[in-house]
Each structure stands twice: as C-alpha cells, then as structure tokens.
Amino acid sequence: MTIYLDNNATTRPAPEVVAAMREMLEESWANPSSVHRAGQAARQRVELARQSVSRLLGCTPREIIFTSGATESIDLAIRGVLGAGPPDRKTIITTAIEHEAVRELCNSLVIGSLPSGIRVRSAPVRGDRSGVVDVGALEPLIDDSVALVSVQWANNETGAIQPIEQVGALCRARSGTNGEILFHTDATQWVGRMPTDVARLPIDLLSCSAHKFHGPKGAGALYARRGVRLRPTLRGTQELDRRGGTENTPGIVGMGVAADLARAWLEDASGREHIAELRDRFEAAVLAGVPDVRINGPTARAERLWNTTNIAFPRLEAEALLLLLSERGVCASAGAACSSGSLNPSPVLLAMGIPPEEAHGSLRFSLSLETTRAEMDEAARIVIESVARLRGSSRAVLT
C-alpha cells in the first residue's frame, strides 16, 4: 500500500476529471479557435470550464485567463502589470516565504532589469516562527513607486494562512490619483481547498493551479479583475488577446470538472474539519513517539490550512528520512518539491526563523480529501519507527 502524503501526489485527479479529459482527447480534439462545427464544440467545452472556474473563485468568466499552471499565471500577473503600468511605478513588494515561482521571478526581474530600475521589497514575517506575514512591517514599504504587492494566500510548505484581506485593503487604501497599487495573491494552495470569493475581497489578481484540487497537472488560471491592465507575456489572440497559444483543451476541461467537484465538497465544512482532525492526530502521535520534534508554522487551526503539516526532526537529514519512508510506502516531501535532489534547507523555513539544523531535517506531509484515518495512523507508526532507525545510524544524522 502506498500512502500519498506529498502535496504533489495526494491530489489524485478525480475519476470524473479523467473521464472528461479522455473524452476531449478522443472525441473533441479540434482547435477551439476554428470556425467549423468541431472547433465550436471544443470552444463550448472551454467556455463551460471557464464558467466552472469562475464559480469556484467567485468572479465572472471573462475575468478568468487559462494558463499552463500557477507558475505561468504568476509570471503573467507580475510581468504583465509591470509591462502595462506607468514607467515610474516599478517596485514590487513581496515576501520571503513565497513559492519560488514568485521569489525567483522577482529576483530575476531585478537582475535582468538593471538599469531600468525594477525594485523588489520583501515584507518580513512575524518573529514567532509562524511564517505569517507581518502586516505592520509591510505597510511602511508601500509608497508611490509601488506597482504591485504579491502575497500568497496559504504557504505551500507549512499551510500558514496569510492576512491577504488586510494586505489587499492596504493596497486599496494607498492607491492614489496617480495610479493604483494592485494586489496579487498566489492562491495555489488555497483555491479548491477553502471557499473563495474574490469579488468580495480586495484582490486584483489571483493565481491557481488545477492539480492542487484533484484536476490535471499543467492547467491553471489567472483571475484578473475587470479593468486591470496586463501586457501579455505570451503573444497571440487566444484568451481575449491576454494569453497566446492554442488552448490545452483536455487540461482546461479537466480543471472545470475539478472546480465543480471542489465547489460541491467545500459547501460542507465538515469535510475539511475531518481532515484537519486526522492531521492533528498524526502530529500528536509523532510528537509523542519521537523525542525532540517541532511543528513548523502556526499551530492555531485558524491560521493554517487543514491539509498540511511540516515537522522538524532536528539533526536528521530530510532526504534520508524521505527515502526510508518511501521504501516503506509513505510518500512525503521536503520543503518544495523542486528542492528535492538538493540538500539545501528550505529558504522558506529559514526565512521563518527556523534554525538550519531544524530546517535541514524538516518534512512536509499533505493530506487530501481522500486521506483516511487508517492511512494517517499507519503513516505515524512508520515515521516514528523510521526516525528511530535513522537516529540509530550515525550516517543519516547531522552533527
């Protein structure tokens, strides 16, 4: 038996998603830009999916731009705003705990834009190791040079929920007659897992990915509030001239079906409360069974997503533990998936104030709506035994 507790594997595409994608591949493969009947049939499926995604987010279908995933949505949001805005607004405010899709893009923009002057300011997190952004410290960073503030909705490594409503409200309050300060949120970890209603929040742009809510990989969306000006980063006539390239019709349709299923699941809060209880039970078992462990990130339920836990096993090498867990049928991850293969501790955990010896031995376990109590009890048992085994072998323990 394999127990999937890796954020990138636990969200298996739903059977309805697979069936709809298969149907697109086998029966409706025409290009939705073609005027013939087959093309228009594909167009209709794309537009139905757009409606489904807009209902999940709480916006209008025209405000949805389909992309290849959150990384591209983020790129379009950030570079698109900088490209369309006035030349004297070239500052981005973000945080040190963003996914690398935001962090690395911002770094590359600064390096690539000397001397054109793009500047990035990083808002700190609170000093309590929670990894929650300090809104009080972000506020003084906002001035008339700021084009965009980008803060994630929930953290991919710890599940920490960020005060995005406050940050968005600050952007609105500080927007002046000489231009708007736009607010973008990377909501990849949030959308499909928590109810979302962008129209009622001070959000101008939002990025998300289908595979985080049981849709396919390689499909995502950018919400751009009506009136927000973006310079396309991929040129072409598709997506109302905002994103060029023939649409990934199976991916888009799969995302639409996943959005409908997620919306139905989200109607009843007991589903997510049940999984949060399984997560808490797992944490309690590991804390009781392994000496010297810590939970990284906020501990208050209201400040963390129901599906994530990040546990520090100090002085242990995360990669060694991951491999042993994998051998025993538990798939977990160390920090962001992209860090696997590298022994560097997660920059997000370090930015949260977690000491390197703890960050180095930290693992993330992600649950999904499919996770069962039996799986979590078994996973806790395997984690406890594996840590004991590794701690008994000096090779895997950092000194």
CA-CA-CA-CA torsion sign (320, 389, 335, 257): positive
Q: How far is CA 245 from CA 137, 238, 250, in A?
A: 41, 6, 14
Phi-psi sector, 96: left (phi>0), alpha (psi -120 to 50), beta? alpha
Query: Do residues 263 and 214 touch, judged by C-beta distance below 8 A?
Result: no
Nearer to ligand PLP, 104 or 327 (CB): 104
Of 99 and 242, nearer to ligand PLP (C-beta) is 99
CB of 92 to ligand PLP, least distance (A): 16
Q: Are 78 and 52 in contact (CB under 8 A)?
A: no
Strand ranges (DSSP E) for the chain? 3-4, 64-67, 91-95, 119-123, 146-150, 182-186, 205-209, 220-224, 294-295, 308-312, 330-331, 362-366
CB 38 within 8 A of CB 212: no
Residues 6+ apart with CB under 8 A from 14: 214, 215, 257, 258, 261
Nearer to ligand PLP, 9 or 18 (CB): 9
Question: Which CB sits closer to ligand PLP, 28 or 152?
Answer: 152
Q: How far is the CB of 105 from ligand PLP (least distance, A)?
A: 10
CA 196 to CA 193: how far, in whole Å? Answer: 9
Closer by beta carbon to ligand PLP, 54 or else 189: 189
Structure tokens at 288: 């009781």
- Give the shortest CB-104-to-ligand PLP separation in angstroms: 11
Q: Shortest approach of ligand PLP to residue 144 CB, angstroms? A: 29
Residue 203 CB, nearest distance to ligand PLP (Å)? 15
Q: How far is the CB of 295 from ligand PLP (least distance, A)?
A: 19
Which CB sits closer to ligand PLP, 101 or 351?
101
Helices (H) and strands (E) in the chain, counts: 13, 12
Q: List residues binding ligand PLP (CB under 6 A).
A: 69-71, 99, 101, 152, 156, 186, 188-189, 209, 220
Per the rule left: phi > 0, alpha: psi between -120 and 50, beta: everything else, 179 is left
Catalogue the active-site residues. Answer: 338
